[in-house]
Amino acid sequence: MKYLDDHPDVIWWGSEELVIPYWSPVDNKKHRYFPDFVAKIKQKNGVVKTFVIEVKPEAQTKPPTQKRKTQRYLQEAATYVINQSKWKAATEFCKDHGWEFQVLTEKHLGI
């Protein structure tokens, strides 16, 4: 948030202000997804671009690899497929609006 507040090219930003409907494969129901950030950022070429940004741990961006179906594995698998559904809906939403969706992890943020 400090980056968005302090960067001179950030024109506007908000946190969890956008609602994107998505269908969950876990319970087969429609839900509402609130991405972490929406920001309008002036690009180097002068074009203003809108980004929808989700911040997640790197581990939640990859499918779980455990072979035994423990309770933890099942929870991680459910989290992964739900995230994939959210991000697919967000990507389509952004495409329809001429925006860009990004998932950032601790690696992107240098943490």
In sequence order, the 6+-apart residues with CB closer than 8 A to the CB of 102 are 51, 52, 53, 54
Instruction: Encode 88-103: b = buried (16+ Cβ within 10 Å), e = exposed.
Output: ebbbebbeeeebebbb
Tell me the pLDDT tens digit for each residue of 31-76: 999 999 999 999 999 999 999 999 999 988 999 887 788 888 999 9
Structural domain spans, the chain: 2-109
What's the whole-model pTM score? Answer: 0.87
* CATH class entry, domain 2-109: alpha beta
